[in-house]
Amino acid sequence: MATRRMFPIEMLVSRQLSVWKLSFCAVLVFLLSSVAAAQKSLMPGIEVFGGYSHLSFPSGGPGFDNWTQMNGFDAAVTLPHIYKGFGITVDGSANYSTTLEQYNYFVGPQYKWEFSRFTFIAHGLYGRAQTRIREPGSTFVEPSDRQRALAFGGEVDVPFGNRFSIRAVQADYIFASAFGSNRNSFRVSTGLIYRFGKH
């Protein structure tokens, strides 16, 4: 009899433990999913851009043409929704020709507004511009000149899908100097934007 009474008690205890385990697991899953959703909603929107860049560089001087056309790439990381259309962007580009190289590093504010399916952006950036003469045996540092630089321009983006946009054009006028004289140049870029976080 003692044995028969013991089995129902064990079964009852095991059922209660199973219900407790299931309830604990359900609450744990709910809490973890809530935390993950909260983190996703709190994560700011971020845009990452990468693409082709063309730079028209005023290179007049001994042995150089008045203008040197350089091809290269442009990349940027942007927080676009800091306050009512205002954001901040970090931009870097590298452009090359057979005789010269130009590197630009910028950070600064931007303002964006949307019209129809297009997004228009204006920005003012501050940073550094490094100009390097490509010679046999030269290094990344010598012979080169690095100076402060300003860039003013804007972009036109065309979104497709929830996460991607095409940067139809980005145009910048870059105020800089190199080797003792002003070297204000024009930069045009195009490429792809990927967005993640809350938008």
pLDDT of residue 11: 47
Residues 48 and 123 in one domain: yes
Question: What mean pLDDT value characterizes the chain?
Answer: 81
Domain boundaries, position 107: 43-196
Q: Is the pLDDT of residue 12 over 80?
A: no
The pair phi, psi for residue 141, each rounded to 5°, is -90, -40
Give pLDDT tens digits for 166-178: 999 999 999 998 8
The CATH number that applies at residue 149 is 2.40.160.20
pLDDT of residue 60: 80
Residues 56 and 26 in one domain: no
Nearest CA among 95, 158, 85 for reference residue 123: 85
Into how many domains does the chain fold?
2
Residues 94 and 2 in one domain: no
**How far, in Å, CA of 141 to CA of 52, rounded?**
24
Give pLDDT tens digits for 38-92: 444 555 689 999 999 999 999 887 567 889 999 999 999 999 989 888 999 999 9
Distance of CA 146 to the CA centre of its chain: 24
The pair phi, psi for residue 20, each rounded to 5°, is -60, -45
Pairing mode of beta strands 100-115, 164-175: unpaired
**How far, in Å, CA of 22 to CA of 28, rounded?**
10
Model pTM greater than 0.75? no
The number of residues in the chain equals: 199
124 token code pair: 């003012």
